[in-house]
Amino acid sequence: MDALSATVEKARRLRGIAAAISAITAVGIALSISLPLLSLTLEARGVSGTWIGINTAMAGVASLAVTPVAPGLAFRIGTSRTTFLCVVLAAISLIGFHFAEAFWMWFPLRVVFHGAVTIAFILSEYWINALAPDARRGFVMGIYATVLSIGFATGPAILNLAGTTGLVPFIAGAVLLVAAAVPVLLARADEPPLHGEETSLPILAYLVAAPLGTLAGLVFGAVEQGALSLLPIFGIRVGFEPTDAALLVSAVALGNVLLQIPLGIAADRYDRRWLLFVCAAIGTGGALLMPPVSGSFPTLLLVLFVWGGFIAGLYTIGLTHLGARYRGKELAGANAAFIMMYSTGMLIGPTLMGAGLTTVGPAGLPYACAFLFAIFALVALYRIWSERGRNPA
């Protein structure tokens, strides 16, 4: 009977994990379609670059605003129901952009769309982390990060087929969002329960209780949003053609896709604090290598491939670190804190790295990245030293 129960429980966990990964991958594809689509639509309507940037920044504001309420919503309504409602709301608001002729309407639509997507991400990551077996948590999070990265890479290809004008690309994104709701509904019986009181620690308290896990989200959010947006500009300023400069982002993305599962497996076997330090150290070293190797395009691509894989490890290992430390409602709160820090990083990164490009020149971009990684590496070393002899989770 015990063996049968264990088999049933394992099957339940696998169904739940597969459903959550499938759902959030569909959301990721839709998001990677919508981000360039919305900017291109505003550009076609004659909106200035400054106002497009201000409107786009509402995504970060929305993410920060809704993050603290996500665990409470899941507790009161249920994880699957809240996720379902959010992806449907995101789908409706995405189509709304097409019909919103007045520019001011795009601001509340941005808040609704990105707020709903943020909650879907928080709860899906909680769902995956909560159901992942302790011994294979890093491996599961590595699969999640890999599949999500592939999803983000797929979106622009779909947009290329659907076009960037008219209603069709908006419908394509909305259909993918609705598709994300299907596995959530099918696996609603397998969602992780939220036991206990409605609230646990305040969201900001996790920054003190688990600084490595949450700060990993901030640093990765800053570098992902800032560096990947500005790497083509770095490439052009060091002398590459625009088409070659765009491949720099592809090298980072490829490293991200191929290295997350190996890093996840390592997170199951070794002290995650040291792994986060290694990722930050390679992030620092790789960034500092970019200027001197920029004279050789193949060498720069190789550096960016390795660099991209290890810096994304901050996301994979950071989530694994939190999943090993918290359970239930506290894990939901920790995931919310992680996404809040990631969103904060998305606001900080472009500003810091853009300032680096302006004041220092091309090298200012990688130097700004190196600064962030070096600070995180020092925090990791301090935590390892101060927690020596304790549980590495």
- Tens-place pLDDT, residues 275-319: 999 999 999 999 999 999 988 999 999 999 999 999 999 989 998
Give me the helix-helix angle, 2-44 and 49-66, nearest 10°. Answer: 160
- Same-domain check for residues 153 and 213: no
How confident is the model at residue 241, as a pLDDT?
85
Range of the domain at 238: 205-386
Q: Which residue in the block uniquely carries the two structure tokens 């996790």?
A: 206
Query: Is residue 273 situated within a structural domain?
Result: yes
The H or E element that residue 345 is part of is helix 328-360
* Residues 16 and 100 reside in one and the same domain: yes
Question: Taking the alpha carbons of 271, 276, 280, 283 in that order, is the dihedral positive or negative?
Answer: positive
In a domain, 242, yes or no: yes
In a domain, 282, yes or no: yes
Q: Is the pLDDT of residue 392 over 60?
A: no
| Tens-place pLDDT, residues 341-380 | 988 888 888 888 888 888 888 899 899 999 999 999 999 9
- Bigger pLDDT: 18 or 219? 219
Decide: 161 and 78 in contact? Cβ < 8 Å.
Answer: no
Q: What is the mean pLDDT of the chain?
A: 84
Nearest-angstrom CA–CA distance, 14 and 6: 12
Whether residues 217 and 323 fall in one domain:
yes
Question: 3 vs 6, 68, 130, 192, 247, CA distance in Å?
Answer: 5, 40, 22, 21, 51
pLDDT at 11 exceeding the cut of 80: no
235 close to 359: Cβ distance less than 8 angstroms: no
What is the reported pTM? 0.80
Together in a domain, 184 and 42 = yes
CB neighbour class for 127 (10 Å; exposed up to 12, middle 13-18, buried from 19): buried
Largest Cα separation within the chain, whole Å, is 68
Residues in the chain: 393
Residue 2 has pLDDT above 80, yes or no: no
- Look-up: residue for tokens 């596995």? 183
179 and 240 fall within a common domain:
no
375 in the same domain as 323 = yes
Return the higher-pLDDT residue of 192 and 109: 109
Q: Provide the domain count of the chain.
A: 2
Residue 200 has pLDDT above 60, yes or no: no
Q: How far apart are the C-alpha atoms of 257 and 250, rounded to whole Å?
A: 10
Share of the chain above pLDDT 90, in %: 26
Helix (H, G, I), strand (E, B) or coil at 2: helix
CATH of the domain at 47: 1.20.1250.20
pLDDT value of residue 1: 46
- The DSSP-derived string for 3-54 is HHHHHHHHHHHHHHHHHHHHHHHHHHHHHHHHHHHHHHHHHHTT--HHHHHH
My answer on whether 42 and 72 are in the same domain is yes
Q: Is the pLDDT of residue 382 over 80?
A: yes
Confidence of residue 9 (pLDDT cuts 50, 70, 90): low
- Rounded to 10°, the helix 272-293/364-386 angle is 160
Residue 5 is encoded by which pair of tokens? 């129960």
Q: Are residues 142 and 227 located together in one domain of the fold?
A: no
Is residue 250 within 8 Å of residue 288, measured between CB atoms? no
Question: Where is pLDDT greater, at 187 or 221?
Answer: 221
Tokens 């810091």 belong to which residue?
Answer: 352
Last residue of one domain, picked from the residues 141, 164, 190: 190
Within this chain, do residues 119 and 36 fall inside the same structural domain, yes or no?
yes
Residues 102, 247 within the same domain? no
Up-side HSE of residue 73: CA atoms within 13 Å toward CB? 21
Mean of the pLDDT values across residues 166-181?
87
